[in-house]
Structure formats: C-alpha cells, structure tokens
Amino acid sequence: VDRVASLSAADESSLSFLANPIFRRELAKTRAGVVVLAPEYVDECPVDCLICANPYATFARIAAMLHPRARRAPGIDATAAVAPDATVAATAFVGAQATIGARAALGERVEIGAGSVVADDAKIGEDTRLAERVVICSGVEVGRRCTIHPGAVIGADGFGFAQDEREGWVKIPQIGGVSIGDDVEIGANTTIDRGTIEDTVIEAGVKLDNLVQIAHNVRIGEHTIMAAMSGAAGSTTIGKRCMIGGGAVLINHISVCDDVMFLFRSVVTKSVDKLGVYSGVLPAEEAGQWRRNAARFRQLDGFAERLRRAERELRALAGKGAS
C-alpha cells in the first residue's frame, strides 16, 4: 500500500481503517489492500487486516508515514522582512511576505508561512510551524512541534475596560503575555488574548479548532481539546484532558477539573469539580439529564395545555367536594 483511503474508495494499493462502527457496512464491501481494525471486526473483513487495540491512532500514525508533510527547505524568502536583531535558526524557513520583529527568535526547523507576522520579542520553539498569515503578537512564547493554522491571532490585547462616569470605558493595559506549550495545535482564525498582568497559558498537547476564543488570563490544561466556535471567557481555568464541544463556552471566572467533557454548545457558568459529561446551561448539568430535559422541551406547549386542563378539572372536583 502507498496511500490511505476510505473503506468505500480504497483499492488494492490503499490502506483503510474501521474505527467508528457506523462504517461497518462498508467493511464487507471494501477492496482495500489492508484494513486497520479492532479484533472484533476481523471476521467481517474481506481483505487483509492489521489488528490493533486502537485502530484510529494506528491509522493516524501509518497515514503520517505514507503522506508526510513536505518540509520547506531552510532559508528566508527574499520578500520576508526580518529585523536585523531577530534570531533565525539556520534550519528555519521564513516564507514570502512574512515579518519577523525585533529580538524575535525562531528555533531549529521552524517554518513561518507566507504573510505571517512574528512580532517583537516573540519566541517560536523548535519544529513549530506557522501556516500562512498567522499573527504572533509581541512577547508571545510558542513551544516546540506546534502547528498554528492561517489567520490565528495569538496575543492580542484582552478585553478589559473599567467603566467610568465621565469617560465611558477606560482601557486596562494588557501587559501579560501568552505562553503556549509543546505539541499544541491552533485552528484557523482562532484568537488567544494576552493576559492582563500575568500570562494566558495553553499547556502542552492542547488542540484548538477553528474560530475558538480564548480570553485573557485563561489557563488550559494539558491535552485538552476544544472544538470549533467554543470559547473560554476571562480567567477560566480548564483542567487536563477535557473535551469541550463545538460552540460550548465557559464563563464567570470558573475552574473545571481534569477529564470533564462538555457537549456541543454548553454554557458553563459554575465551576465543575467532578469528572463527567455535562451539557446544557446555567450551570451545565450531567448530560443524560440534560438530554431528557431537552427532549421534554419539545413537548412543552402540550404540557401547558395539559396543566391548564388538570387545573380546571381540579377546580371542578374541588367544587363538588366542597358541595
């Protein structure tokens, strides 16, 4: 095999996989060269298979070997603007129209995509890749082996204003930074604000999807993952290995412990100190209960009618009882 493909599109030279049982029907018909799957599906596989405990992760590793990302050859494009006192490793690549600010530092094998900006005093760790048109604001520190997708903005001012009778809003200077750990991935057009006084912190292994908003002074624990359009308001602390669903938001300066999952579009308004799956709003609640309540919501208009009728009948009965 020399490439990966879906079960249905695979041919003899393709490797495919079965990780989600909803694709089981396609397994019986596949013409893949090899299928990566868990032991329980071996009998259903019409072709060669590679049996393992975690087929999705195994597939991921094989796919990365079959389809390695092309590395940019080291060097600085002639159209890039690199400050004379910036430090750029000899093995780093700086793309067309990129800007590297004063005293910024790019580690070994760093890749800076076309049009990206690494502002003054920012530091980019070894093997990290900024895609096209990323902005790393001044003083931000990014770890090693990170991937930052186009349009992401790391280190803009946090949203802090004091209300004042005379002047409207007085800006609170945002003098903290942003610290991004190793092996972090940050999606397209996602925004991570710098801290007010101390740093906003994204720990190692965190994965953020597109259009995510991380406000000032947030701390996100190792290996936590946040899906698209989710957000953490100012001073939220999120534990390790949490999973935040699409569009879910955490507000009110709360803390969330390790290993918590919030379903899509949850609004989390109170701290959570017990691992589990949560959903809904004000505050998020255990997911099973929320699903039942949400299902009942669809019957709400009917309930109102039934309640009114029950009350009427009660009055009638009470009238009889009183008579």
Say whether 8 sits in a helix, a strand or coil.
coil
Nearest approach in angstroms of CB 108 to a second copy is 20
Nearer residue to a second copy within complex by CB, 43 or 293: 293
- Binding positions for a second copy, 147-186, rule CB under 8 A: 147, 149-151, 153, 156-157, 159, 161-165, 167-173, 175, 183, 185
The secondary structure of the chain in percent helix, strand, coil, rounded to multiples of 5, reads: 20, 30, 50
For residue 234, give both structure tokens.
Answer: 């100012």
Residue 286 CB contacts under 8 Å (≥ 6 apart), including other chains:
276, 277, 278, 279
Interface with a second copy includes 300 (CB under 8 A)? yes
Name the nearest CA neighbour of 128 among 211, 201, 72, 84.
72
- Binding positions for a second copy, 41-80, rule CB under 8 A: 54, 56-57, 59-61, 63-64, 67, 69, 77-79
Nearer residue to a second copy within complex by CB, 107 or 245: 245
Total residues binding a second copy (CB under 8 A)? 119
Nearer residue to a second copy within complex by CB, 46 or 303: 303
Interface pick for a second copy out of 27, 201, 209, 237 (rule CB under 8 A): 209
Based on the residue annotation, tell me whether 253 is a catalytic residue of this protein: no
**123-to-85, 86, 105, 208, 256 alpha-carbon distances in Å:** 13, 10, 5, 20, 29
- Binding positions for a second copy, 21-40, rule CB under 8 A: 22
DSSP 191-237: EEEPPSSS-EEE-TT-EE-TT-EE-TT-EE-TT-EE-TT-EE-TT-E
- Binding positions for a second copy, 243-282, rule CB under 8 A: 246-247, 249, 251, 253, 264-265, 267, 280-282
For residue 111, give both structure tokens.
Answer: 């890749």
- Out of 149, 216, 223, 253, pick the active-site residue: 216
| Catalytic site positions | 216
